[in-house]
Structure 1
Amino acid sequence: MIVKNALVASVSVAALAASTFTVSAQTDLAALYEAAKTEGQLTTIALPHDWCGYGAVIEAFKAKYPGITINELNPDAGSADEIEAIKANKGNTGPQAPDVIDVGLSFGPSAKAEGLIQPYKVSTWDTIPDSAKDAEGYWYGDYYGVLSFLVNTDLVSKVPTSWADLKGADYANAVALAGDPRAANQAIQGVYGAGLSTGAADAKAAADAGLAYFAELNKSGNFVPVIGKAASTAQGTTPIVVAWDYNALAWRDGFAGNPKAEVVVPSDSVVAGVYIQAISAFAPHPNAAKLWMEYLYSDEGQLGWLAGYCHPIRFNDLAAKGSIPQELLDKLPPAEAYAKAVFPTLDEQAAAKEVITGQWDAVVGANVQ
């Protein structure tokens, strides 16, 4: 446990109770733990336990830092819901106010511009790629994956290998997105990925093409307007779900062969997505929030995400140090499946998000819920 490290002698418990640690790459973790323990709680939001190994990560944090309870809000919320939760609880120090958020990359700059998040640089800050973090520490990439198809092969005999395949008659009442494309980043990227598969030249064109694609899928009866999850896939409500590979792989494992399932990275468009962490500017438990970030960006926290099939943002650093157990590497999909991966820029994501969220109802007309 971190408490074995000596506290700075001049820091009293009373002072810790009133303090809020500032941006620092040299934070004394023992002192931070004491301050967090005084707060006694961390409030998270939108962290399903089967997403990116979060269930195990949360339990590991609680075991490492006893005395801090975790209040988990709305595990199935989307990125937009997380931002709205901060806005709605600016003056609320109760259990409905999130301390931390885990959202799609495009939400970071906008949340910073609106004054909704606060800066903090973890002690491993220098090992996070510059392209995946705000220079001032307001937000920072945590993990990434690529869009894939989770297929219930007990119900789908012909496994689709591309976005184009999903238009076929074999997939009537079968295809769902893992979220509402009017709010959830995973679903927005699903629409964008479908658009890129058509050969669209830029982000707006890809968004328009993606909307047209799902309008066609909806009209043909192939699209199911239900938020796809592990349970809906297993039950057959959504036999095919477009989801990040780390979700799809974890769900497949959870089935334990019942039903049988496959995870496919589509051959005609491989969209990679980076998610980010940030601390609410109005966090009721700011020190617990910072301790949470320190844990997530430690080697232990990063490997926890990798065990949940996410590529942690510090993956290259961990690999260079030889810190990744071989059994974790062996469980990942083959590298060639990711060869054509495209990482949309912030500007591309913002342009696509505006089109998709704003025009889904008018163009596709499917109320996903």
Structure 2
Amino acid sequence: MQLRRREFGLLAAGALAAPYVVRAQPINLAALHEAARKEGELTWYTVPQTSEVAEKMGRTFSTRYPGVKVNVVRTTAQVAFQRLNQDLKAGTPNCDVFTSTDLAHYVDLKGRNLLLKYLPAAVARQDKRVQNMDPDAYFHASSCFMMGLIYNTQKVQAAAAPKSWNDLLDAKWSGAALVAHPAYSGAAGAWCIEMRKLFGEGWFAKLAAAKAHVSRSTIDAVTTVISGEASISAGPMSLAARSASRGNPVATLAPKEGPVLILSPSAIMANTRRPNASRLFMEWLLGSEDTERISVEEFSVPLRANAKPAPGVLGLSDASPLLAPTPPQMVAQIPKVIELWRDAFGV
């Protein structure tokens, strides 16, 4: 990844810093819908949702705006970014809207003038603490979740469950913990940055010595804990809560150091062939009643101001302390934590 580091200073100090002033102009959604209908479809590369939820979102959008189909392509963060760059190299504008969990992707794309500048009116309806991703309005927060500790309730009693991130090193969890690889998962990369801040660079070697299993995606963390192949994991609390609501043996807790906030930006690609459909989708994705409802239904963290998550799910105002790497930290430190990880785990 070739990054223009002089661009970093243009970014906000962090996802939860004081917001910039939102000055999006009112938009005529009916007129935008009519223009989008003429384009007929858009393709959405997305990372943070499961395939099931992403497809549900695509169908819901098309129901809300008939005549505009969403082609959903869901994969892990680094695989999605690799695919996007392959498209760009080939001159094939497959992706219209790009949603990832890795902020570094957006700094890189913005630095190469590959994003379309657009400030959706929907941003003004979001919680002010997530309005400050890019003051130049090339990318915006479209979803978030929190990485916390999850465990299999059939194998681990609540009283014995880990209470600290450092408990992943405890000898009683040797060979029983699972963590995602930061080279594949943007969320895992953010988590690794925070673990390095808390415990130092040597912590990853200790985690490897504790025989922690490694997966590609944080989504795998939940499914592997549910199956019993792992007893505990660092994973997405929302997905685990959703799985628990369906009767699966999984529970979550916020570590005493705090969960890690994962903000997922979305942006329109500059080479899009469907600019109106893409703008309409961004308006819907960032601040619609549909996305708020789906967030609650799927036990995610809604971004609309004053929205309440599902019972038992931590909202933006509920988690204290809350760990959140800044955009510059994500860009500068992801390569380092990947290097530390590979040195520790050999993969």
2:31 partner letter:
A
Larger radius of gyration, structure 1 or 2?
A: 1
Name the structure 1 match of 2:136.
136
Deviations 1:323-347 (A, max 9, x none): x4x6x45343388961111332222
1:265 partner letter:
A
Name the structure 1 match of 2:266.
277
How many pairs align?
314
SS at match of 2:25: coil
In 2, distance between residues paired with 1:24 and 1:220? 50
After superposition, the Cα gap between the structure-2 partners of 1:275 and 1:334, relative to the gap in structure 1 and judged at 3 Å, is closer
1:238 partner letter:
A
2:99 matches 1:102: yes
Does structure 1 conserve the Cα–Cα contact (< 8 Å) formed by 2:147 and 2:261? yes
Name the structure 2 match of 1:19.
none
1:26 partner letter:
P
Name the structure 2 match of 1:15.
none
In 2, distance between residues paired with 1:110 and 1:172? 38
In 2, distance between residues paired with 1:290 and 1:284? 12
Deviations 1:184-220 (A, max 9, x none): 211112222322332xxxxxxxxxx2x5222212123
Deviation at 1:69, TM superposition (A): 2.2
Name the structure 2 match of 1:343.
324
Deviation at 1:36, TM superposition (A): 1.8
Name the structure 1 match of 2:155.
155
Aligned-pair Cα RMSD in Å: 2.8
After superposition, the Cα gap between the structure-2 partners of 1:261 and 1:126, relative to the gap in structure 1 and judged at 3 Å, is closer
Which moved further from structure 2: 279-288 or 110-119?
279-288
Name the structure 2 match of 1:5.
none
In 2, distance between residues paired with 1:330 and 1:105? 29
In 1, distance between residues paired with 2:132 and 2:335? 21
After superposition, the Cα gap between the structure-2 partners of 1:56 and 1:288, relative to the gap in structure 1 and judged at 3 Å, is same
In 1, distance between residues paired with 2:273 and 2:82? 16
In 2, distance between residues paired with 1:112 and 1:46? 18
2:189 partner letter:
I
Does structure 2 conserve the Cα–Cα contact (< 8 Å) formed by 1:52 and 1:246? no
Name the structure 2 match of 1:85.
83
TM-score by length of 1: 0.75
Does structure 1 conserve the Cα–Cα contact (< 8 Å) formed by 2:194 and 2:325? no
After superposition, the Cα gap between the structure-2 partners of 1:186 and 1:282, relative to the gap in structure 1 and judged at 3 Å, is same
Match of 1:352 among 295, 319, 333: 333
Deviation at 1:34, TM superposition (A): 2.1
Which moved further from structure 2: 340-349 or 288-297?
340-349
Name the structure 2 match of 1:203.
none
Deviation at 1:59, TM superposition (A): 2.6
Name the structure 2 match of 1:40.
40
In 2, distance between residues paired with 1:335 and 1:138? 23
In 1, distance between residues paired with 2:335 and 2:165? 22
Does structure 2 conserve the Cα–Cα contact (< 8 Å) formed by 1:111 and 1:117? yes
2:329 partner letter:
E
After superposition, the Cα gap between the structure-2 partners of 1:141 and 1:34, relative to the gap in structure 1 and judged at 3 Å, is same
In 2, distance between residues paired with 1:27 and 1:63? 20
SS at match of 2:257: coil
1:61 partner letter:
F
TM-score by length of 2: 0.80
Match of 1:262 among 251, 262, 266: 251
2:29 partner letter:
L
In 1, distance between residues paired with 2:276 and 2:341? 40
Does structure 2 conserve the Cα–Cα contact (< 8 Å) formed by 1:145 and 1:272? yes
Match of 1:244 among 230, 236, 241: 236
